[in-house]
Structure 1
Amino acid sequence: MASETAQPVYTSSASESGYSVIRRNGKVTEFDSSKIAVAITKAFLAVEGDSAQDSRRIHDTVAKLTKQVTDNLLRRIDDGGTVHIEDIQDQVELALMREGEYKVARSYVVYREKQSEKRAEEEKKHPQPANESPLHVTAADGTRHPLDIDRLHNLITEACEGLAEVNRDAILRDTQRNLFDGVKEADVEKALVMSARTFIEKDPAYSTLAARLLMDGIRREALTFVYKTPKQASQQEMGALYNDYFKTYISTAIEKELIDSELGLFDLDRLGNALKPELDFEFTYLGLQTLYDRYFIHFDGTRFELPQAFYMRVAMGLAINELNREERAIEFYNLLSSFDFMSSTPTLFNSGTLRPQLSSCYLTTVPDDLSGIYNAMRDNALLSKYAGGLGNDWTRVRGLGAHIKGTNGKSQGVVPFLKVANDTAVAVNQGGKRKGAVCAYLETWHIDVEEFLDLRKNTGDDRRRTHDMNTANWIPDLFMKRVAEEGQWTLFSPEEVDDLHDLTGLDFERAYKAYEEKAARGEIRNFKQLPATDLWRKMLGMLFETGHPWITFKDPCNLRSPQQHVGVVHSSNLCTEITLNTSDKEIAVCNLGSVNMVKHIDENGKLDKEKLQKTVRTAMRMLDNVIEYNYYSVPQARHSNLQHRPVGLGLMGFQDALYKLRIPYSSDEAVQFADESMEAISYYAIDASSDLAAERGKYQTYEGSLWSKGILPIDSIKILKEARGEYLQQDESKTMDWDMLRDKIKRQGMRNSNTMAIAPTATISNICGVSQSIEPTYQNLFVKSNLSGEFTVINPYMVEDLKARNLWDDVMINDLKYFDGSLQSIDRIPAELKSLYTTAFEMDARWLIEAASRRQKWLDQAQSLNLYMAEPSGKKMDNLYKLAWVRGLKTTYYLRSMGATGAEKTSTAPTTATEAPAPSKPTAVATASTPAPVASASSSIDDLVLGEGMEAPKACSILEPDCEACQ
């Protein structure tokens, strides 16, 4: 009978060594998937019998189900972790149901229920005293003591305070169920966190709860280390302990030579009293786990830096050269710990340490000689070692077949050197904190550009491939004009046209046309001519196929640069938001940080400009302080940074701000908010830099800059328009008093040559618990993987709205899982919520371009702009990237596509924009309500169609743990 044979599974074995199963009596045995197979087989045999004709099907089905169950179980627990017997049985039930084996599943459920009733009867006969625990905990020193159930209960109760949505008793029950006699003390803490993690998909509040429970283990580890004795404390007890801990932590870190001894000379009592222990309870689980894994100071693998000490350590480093440094450190700490603003990852890693390399980005230009090329690679290695992301301009290196005077031979071109640069980036991995990363830039007229486009292909000669290095096209406006007009394009080797590298705008056009005439007369030996549209097709085709090279535009970066009087922007950086001059004598450096936009939306649903101004003023001071305090691994970087003092203030949480404002991303209102918010940040950043100039002096190369001429970023659009003509359609409206600011700059000057850049902010936005940068929501419910593990991510705004309409339940959660976090195919969702919670792959990417164009008019640098296409095609890509150029964008970043199966599920997404072809030459500014493509039908590349069963290649997987942009 089924009740006799459909037995539950248990454990033990060798094939999944390291994993254990907790049985109902609290005993622990090894995990053994073969026992799962046996139990499932018995369930089938009890229902279907054991005829020979069914044996093959049963065998194959059992093998498939066993693998599913095992994978689902082990994926959710740490190596060496434990799983409860009930969880295994739950997974068996689910697997049977998913496979459509309903009779077998029903028999299995009935059997489990009968066994449960038997155990309940036994418990009535032999009850366990409520206050007695048979479990013992093993401390780190090997001693055993009874599990303190009261402390466990109090810890969960404290963590649940203010979280009405969470079920305290369920967490306690689930935690106890996953404990066993002799469990390690650290594993008790893990069990608490794991119990809360499993509920995150039901309510975002459980993410906060998981973070609070995680804090208990972090506190124990840190306090035990600094006090040199086993020590635990509740969050409430930390209120009285944090000050003393902070002073002990500073002295310990100095003793271990992990932070600068100068930090010990601060008034530590004053700083300790300024700490806000209650903010340790404000993290999401993803944010706190990320801090713990990657940012907190550690010694021999032991983290002894608590969150508020971490923020104060960063603040102290940034204030180390201030006259009133305690006051400034507290000011900086308040900004960081409140999440109103966050410094970039290198600053958080290294501020206050013995080697404070705080800069995010370095830009270099590679010369056309062997010594210079290898010196550039050495600089790459040194810069990458200390957490810098690199952008290399390779345009000057002569092309394949070019004459070499020294040997009377022929050049192998730029590609072999790029292979070496690729391998250097892999070898230098920033101490394991994140992968070394570099982006190579090449101008579109370079004779090797066609080979450059192929660098990321998985086919062909592997010696001419760079599988790890990012690549980007550095495109002059003349090329885009030739594409629009279906003209010819000529490729040159740079040693024969050496001035093109430094020319921009109309000067470039004149020189380029003159070289074409020389080539036609036979006066240039190494060149190639082809239709511009053919090269454009290949550029977009490779972008689709490999995700590279990215599309960036040389002329807007230069013609709108405040520093065009002292140099040329030859490339952008790793993430395409930095646009600074480079030369043989100057390696450009930029220091980044981002304003959290959602923290600047007031209770009335308005942008709080007063708070924003205060935040930006302090943030700009912090960024400027980096420049003197920074560690420079190469002299050219120090020289450049001290001369020009560029910084890059950006933003994050833009999508969250739209949610608070109740504005869909795909709307005129969102485009308008992008304009309004960026105008305010621009105004306040420029104003703050001018005030810093009054206090500290102008940057050295101020005279002759656009700033000194009263030309602000909004004014520089006119310069681009003069060169571009009818091919520029960019809004120039403004709402703030820019004339007053121009007058102020004339009197006071500027402290910084550049003030703004919008970076990806992937990791720091995770820390703050907000959406990345200017990104739309990826999915409303998904599992994110990064170097810290796997995390359930759920849209808290969406959950709140669905709760208000009594729509949030297990069925909705299941629907969201099936539809990959999309609301569009769920009939009971109101239309206004479908619109508000449209995800990245469901919106027309041209809305992203329109919003970015409005931001770009206020920026003196650029923005990391990812573009999303559920189902890419040549025509769509052609339209999209031409629109980006016409709207005045300086750069674009990744093109993100999704698999064919995922696209199928989101095919019902609403689209506001049309796809009708526009004239090849734009005649009017398109309105945001219908973003108009600017490609002519004749200049579109062929549609790229996926074959059956194929997936669109992901330019950069959102979930890729090693992706630099995601770290």
Structure 2
Amino acid sequence: MSTKTLKATPLTVAAPVNLINRVKPALANGLEKYGERLLKEAALAFYDGINDNEIDKALIQAAAQNIKDDIAYDRLAARLQLLAVYREVLGTDDFESAATMMRVRFADYLEGGIKGGLLSEKMRRYDWTRLAAALKPENDQLFTYTGISTLMRRYALRGENQQAIEVPQYIWMRVAMGLAWNEAEPNEVAISFYKKMSALEYIPGGSTNINAGAVKSRLSNCFLMGMEDNVDHIGKTVSDVLKLSKATGGIGLSVTKLRASGSPISTNNTFSSGPIPFLHIIDSAIRAISRAGKKMGALCFYMENWHLDFQEYMDLKQNAGDDYRRTRTADTAVYLSDEFMKRVEADGWWYLFDPKETPDLIDLYGSQFSKRYQEYADMAEAGKMRIFKKMKAREQFRQMIVSLQAASHPWITWKDTINVRALNNNTGTINGSNLCTEITLPVDEKNIAVCNIMSINLARHLSVGGGLDWDKLKDSVTLGIRQLDNLVDINEPPVAEAMNFDSHNRAIGLGVMGLAEIFERRGFAYDSPEAYNLADEVMEFVSYHAISASADLAVERGEYDNFAGSGWSKGYVPYDTLDVLEKERGERVLVDRSFKLDWESLRARVRQGMRNATLLAIAPTANIGLVAGTSTGIDPRFAQIFSRNTLGGKYLELNFNLVKELEKLGIWEEVKDDILASYGNLESIEKIPAELKAMYKDSFSVKPEGFVEVAARAQKWVDQAISRNMYLETRDTDEIMGIYIRAWQQGLKTTYYLHMKPRHNAEQSTLKVNKSNVLGKKGFGAAMTATAPVSSSAEASAPAEPTYSACPVDPQERAQCDSCQ
């Protein structure tokens, strides 16, 4: 690029920096041809007195707004973002000098962080020179634009002036150091952890990324609590919720024990106001403590559906009604028994009771729950219960589904499947899940359950030929389990009950992300038998080696305190609990039972000891999935092009795998506007081959049984649960009821959000559309369209922050479980 090129742009004010030198490093490696357009569009946002940071933003946004036209702009935007980070943190303007300065300034970064109160003195246990030499600046090139932006906005440490003090490789090394200082060889282990994270092969949960290496190691993402039926514990619960939220934890709170409205209070002969007002207090606490910018505290209530006030509980998320009996911030979930599901199938009666009169129901499950529940029902019919309600089970289930359609709540979860299949249920009944429905742990007054999570990026474990690199995946699983186990010893939960649980149970949750991407790259439709079998094979392998790694750690470090009496101590692995569930349920669990690995020899090792009470949980990974540049959790792609809002900003999601396929066919340029105009759905675009349409469906086009089958195959091997989003095109309530009944029959433990396909889409605003052809309109409408087409040219407007107004918006953006990411 020449100075002459720059002068040809519509720049009317003197730039405070040499723009050519500023952008030149980003325009290498085949990106040179994009320089002229980049400068031309960025210059539209310049003004007198513009500073360096704003120039960087204009350049980045100019690149980002063109990603939908050419995916090379994503690489360009990412490189421009990296250069801006290097200038801010390292004071350098190019990649080569940045690589040098990263190593040169690493010790200064650590020293400054320790003296500034951001980093722990324990970071001094390392050989900083050795770690600096191990840094891999070249791995910064692995980030997409969304990935680098999300990482820096959410996880980078900042000084008092809010200026970043970390580059991406410092973040990964800080996390690695913060999780290895208890090792006999901390330098060696930290480097091994670092290499995995730096290569985006696995990424810890958000709380770990924020707080690892810090003075206070608040590293847990997930907490589970139970609220007891007395005012002292209710007050303590509010206090604990505030403390856990401040520590960036997401909370699941069981509230079934709270007595019903109108229930007698013996101490003063008055009557209870019921659970709803107390849930509103918790909701207000969550809203008060939420902190934007990095992570927000959040909470989900869990209630069993035999509670007398369950109808009022279902109304908590409705827009209409008394605001003091609504929860505007907290989420809600229902905890269903097998007894209820059988009564739904049989169209039987369902009874609702005051927990004050039926205190033992909450801790019973399986056949014991069914027997005791029927005894209470018989007592109710005999007039021996103070109060009860009676309704058809199918009608109550229909009300849940209607509420789920309208308000995305309550989430549907299954108590008996969770408890009967739990391998750690020797320490008590599991009364609910967490904020994202993937963690299942028991709690009581002395224990707030804690789970520490991480997700493996499956897409980074594909070989050049497209197959999975099983040796690499085994290494990631084994090392990931060790990293999570270290986290337990280093972790400092903010309340004593959480510390107690963490130290005695050592619960961890290793998950996966990128499943949909490996389906695509293997050429499988998400809802195909090939995809189901691959999901089964991958999760069996992950489960096997996670269990193996924990058994090895038990030999090296000792078993967890509550191992005796657990399912593990009997030699059970998650697969074995399917038989236990069938026996308790009295009917088949409809999931494929095939397996490929030598589980018998592993059972013998498990029986000797396990280091961790739990090992596996698949989180939604909405934010770390963005960092990794892959599909989230086990979900399909929402669409082939869409916009996503996060706390870190608004980003365009474009499926690069699809673009590459269409480029191979030579039709990308022809169909890209059609893809945008059809909201990322390929079905109506004739030029795209049928096999690609099947492989690259949007989420609403995936068959409902595909969502259930993929989750069922994975759940077969997972000892905790799976955050299973559902995207449905149908609005038929009976059909949706059938889908959720099928999910229960196939052994799913939990589901997460239900997203319904919108009936209407917003009108496109960034495309030239001939509506007389598209809509069949004639007359004045057609004439106006023909004479005044909407323009998307660069000259029309300056590159303000991209709005992607023509892109569909993932509904999950309004409902993200921010604390599990």
Normalised by the length of structure 1, the TM-score is: 0.78
Q: Does 1:769 align with 2:602?
A: no
Summarize deviations over 1:879-914 as a string: whole Å, max 9, x none: 110011000110000001132114999xxxxxxxxx
Correspondence for 2:209 among 348, 351, 354: 348
Q: Does 1:239 align with 2:96?
A: no
Counterpart of 1:454 in 2: which secondary structure? helix
Tell me the distance in 2 between the aligned counterparts of 1:605 and 1:129. Answer: 46
Counterpart of 2:512 in 1: which secondary structure? strand
Q: Does 1:196 align with 2:63?
A: yes
Tell me the distance in 2 between the aligned counterparts of 1:150 and 1:302. Answer: 25
What residue is the counterpart of 2:757 in the other structure? 898
| Offset, 1:129 | 8.3
Structure 2 CA distance for partners of 1:737 and 1:129, relative to 1, 3 Å: closer
Given that residues 674 and 854 in structure 1 are in contact (C-alpha distance below 8 angstroms), is that contact kept between their aligned partners in structure 2? yes
Tell me the distance in 2 between the aligned counterparts of 1:413 and 1:379. Answer: 21
Correspondence for 2:417 among 535, 556, 561: 556
Q: Does 1:406 align with 2:267?
A: yes
Bigger mean CA deviation after superposition, 874-883 or 192-201:
192-201
Structure 2 CA distance for partners of 1:149 and 1:477, relative to 1, 3 Å: closer
| Offset, 1:156 | 3.3
Bigger mean CA deviation after superposition, 269-278 or 784-793:
784-793
Structure 2 CA distance for partners of 1:533 and 1:130, relative to 1, 3 Å: closer
What residue is the counterpart of 1:211 in the other structure? 78
Correspondence for 2:689 among 823, 827, 830: 830
Q: Does 1:161 align with 2:9?
A: no
Q: Does 1:324 align with 2:185?
A: yes
Q: How does 1:802-881 map to 2 (within 5 A)?
A: 802-809=662-669, 811-881=670-740
Summarize deviations over 1:743-771 as a string: whole Å, max 9, x none: 22234x11001000000111001001111
Tell me the distance in 1 between the aligned counterparts of 2:45 and 2:99. Answer: 31
Counterpart of 1:525 in 2: which secondary structure? coil
| Offset, 1:154 | 2.6
Which amino acid letter does the alignment assign opposite residue 79 of structure 2?
A: R
Which amino acid letter does the alignment assign opposite residue 286 of structure 1?
A: T
| Offset, 1:136 | 4.2
Tell me the distance in 2 between the aligned counterparts of 1:381 and 1:179. Answer: 44
Structure 2 CA distance for partners of 1:365 and 1:597, relative to 1, 3 Å: same
Structure 2 CA distance for partners of 1:753 and 1:903, relative to 1, 3 Å: farther
Q: Does 1:641 align with 2:511?
A: no
Counterpart of 1:900 in 2: which secondary structure? coil
Tell me the distance in 2 between the aligned counterparts of 1:129 and 1:243. Answer: 38
Q: Does 1:183 align with 2:50?
A: yes
Given that residues 785 and 961 in structure 1 are in contact (C-alpha distance below 8 angstroms), is that contact kept between their aligned partners in structure 2? no
Tell me the distance in 2 between the aligned counterparts of 1:177 and 1:888. Answer: 56
Q: How does 1:116-135 map to 2 (within 5 A)?
A: none
Tell me the distance in 2 between the aligned counterparts of 1:564 and 1:134. Answer: 70
Q: Does 1:260 align with 2:91?
A: no
| Offset, 1:727 | 5.2
Given that residues 642 and 809 in structure 2 are in contact (C-alpha distance below 8 angstroms), is that contact kept between their aligned partners in structure 1? no
Given that residues 137 and 185 in structure 1 are in contact (C-alpha distance below 8 angstroms), is that contact kept between their aligned partners in structure 2? no
Given that residues 362 and 388 in structure 1 are in contact (C-alpha distance below 8 angstroms), is that contact kept between their aligned partners in structure 2? yes
Q: How does 1:569-580 map to 2 (within 5 A)?
A: 569-580=430-441
Tell me the distance in 2 between the aligned counterparts of 1:406 and 1:837. Answer: 63
Tell me the distance in 1 between the aligned counterparts of 2:6 and 2:144. Answer: 37
What residue is the counterpart of 2:813 in the other structure? 959
Tell me the distance in 2 between the aligned counterparts of 1:508 and 1:346. Answer: 37
Summarize deviations over 1:384-424 as a string: whole Å, max 9, x none: 11110000000111011211101111111111111111111
What residue is the counterpart of 2:356 in the other structure? 495
Counterpart of 1:545 in 2: which secondary structure? helix
What residue is the counterpart of 1:722 in the other structure? 583
| Offset, 1:599 | 1.2
Counterpart of 1:376 in 2: which secondary structure? helix
Given that residues 156 and 168 in structure 1 are in contact (C-alpha distance below 8 angstroms), is that contact kept between their aligned partners in structure 2? no
Given that residues 547 and 956 in structure 1 are in contact (C-alpha distance below 8 angstroms), is that contact kept between their aligned partners in structure 2? no
What residue is the counterpart of 2:770 in the other structure? none
What residue is the counterpart of 1:276 in the other structure? 136
| Offset, 1:128 | 10
Counterpart of 1:364 in 2: which secondary structure? strand
Which amino acid letter does the alignment assign opposite residue 233 of structure 1?
A: D
Which amino acid letter does the alignment assign opposite residue 958 of structure 1?
A: Q
Q: Does 1:439 align with 2:300?
A: yes
Tell me the distance in 1 between the aligned counterparts of 2:7 and 2:63. Answer: 26
Which amino acid letter does the alignment assign opposite residue 371 of structure 2?
A: R
What residue is the counterpart of 1:286 in the other structure? 146
Tell me the distance in 1 between the aligned counterparts of 2:316 and 2:175. Answer: 39
| Offset, 1:561 | 0.6
Tell me the distance in 2 between the aligned counterparts of 1:541 and 1:176. Answer: 51
CA root-mean-square deviation: 2.3
Given that residues 193 and 213 in structure 1 are in contact (C-alpha distance below 8 angstroms), is that contact kept between their aligned partners in structure 2? yes
What residue is the counterpart of 1:427 in the other structure? 288
Counterpart of 1:438 in 2: which secondary structure? strand
Bigger mean CA deviation after superposition, 351-360 or 518-527:
518-527
Structure 2 CA distance for partners of 1:297 and 1:794, relative to 1, 3 Å: same
Given that residues 293 and 647 in structure 2 are in contact (C-alpha distance below 8 angstroms), is that contact kept between their aligned partners in structure 1? no
What residue is the counterpart of 2:787 in the other structure? none
| Offset, 1:955 | 13
| Offset, 1:196 | 1.2
| Offset, 1:187 | 2.3
Tell me the distance in 1 between the aligned counterparts of 2:760 and 2:93. Answer: 49
Given that residues 222 and 820 in structure 2 are in contact (C-alpha distance below 8 angstroms), is that contact kept between their aligned partners in structure 1? no
Given that residues 274 and 330 in structure 1 are in contact (C-alpha distance below 8 angstroms), is that contact kept between their aligned partners in structure 2? yes
Structure 2 CA distance for partners of 1:677 and 1:246, relative to 1, 3 Å: same
Correspondence for 1:546 among 407, 412, 435: 407
How many residues align structurally?
774
Counterpart of 1:853 in 2: which secondary structure? helix
Which amino acid letter does the alignment assign opposite residue 224 of structure 2?
A: L
| Structure 1, unpaired ranges of 5+ | 1-122, 139-146, 224-230, 906-953
Q: How does 1:669-684 map to 2 (within 5 A)?
A: 669-684=530-545
Q: Does 1:801 align with 2:661?
A: yes
Correspondence for 1:759 among 619, 636, 641: 619
Correspondence for 2:323 among 440, 450, 462: 462
Tell me the distance in 2 between the aligned counterparts of 1:500 and 1:186. Answer: 60
Structure 2 CA distance for partners of 1:263 and 1:836, relative to 1, 3 Å: same
Q: Does 1:663 align with 2:532?
A: no
| Structure 2, unpaired ranges of 5+ | 765-807
Counterpart of 1:599 in 2: which secondary structure? helix
Tell me the distance in 1 between the aligned counterparts of 2:40 and 2:480. Answer: 45
Structure 2 CA distance for partners of 1:347 and 1:129, relative to 1, 3 Å: closer
Counterpart of 1:326 in 2: which secondary structure? helix
Tell me the distance in 1 between the aligned counterparts of 2:372 and 2:521. Answer: 51
Counterpart of 1:233 in 2: which secondary structure? coil
Which amino acid letter does the alignment assign opposite residue 802 of structure 1?
A: L
| Offset, 1:468 | 1.5
Structure 2 CA distance for partners of 1:525 and 1:837, relative to 1, 3 Å: same
Given that residues 644 and 809 in structure 2 are in contact (C-alpha distance below 8 angstroms), is that contact kept between their aligned partners in structure 1? no
| Offset, 1:162 | 5.3
Structure 2 CA distance for partners of 1:889 and 1:150, relative to 1, 3 Å: closer
Tell me the distance in 2 between the aligned counterparts of 1:187 and 1:779. Answer: 32
Summarize deviations over 1:211-252 as a string: whole Å, max 9, x none: 1111111111112xxxxxxx3231111222211111111111
Which amino acid letter does the alignment assign opposite residue 851 of structure 1?
A: V
Tell me the distance in 2 between the aligned counterparts of 1:821 and 1:454. Answer: 34
Tell me the distance in 2 between the aligned counterparts of 1:207 and 1:676. Answer: 33
Q: How does 1:906-945 map to 2 (within 5 A)?
A: none
Structure 2 CA distance for partners of 1:460 and 1:240, relative to 1, 3 Å: closer
Tell me the distance in 2 between the aligned counterparts of 1:721 and 1:855. Answer: 18
Given that residues 250 and 820 in structure 2 are in contact (C-alpha distance below 8 angstroms), is that contact kept between their aligned partners in structure 1? no
Q: Which has the larger radius of gyration?
A: 1
Given that residues 867 and 896 in structure 1 are in contact (C-alpha distance below 8 angstroms), is that contact kept between their aligned partners in structure 2? yes
Summarize deviations over 1:595-646 as a string: whole Å, max 9, x none: 1011112223222211111000110011001111001111111111111111
Normalised by the length of structure 2, the TM-score is: 0.91
Structure 2 CA distance for partners of 1:292 and 1:201, relative to 1, 3 Å: same
| Offset, 1:857 | 0.8
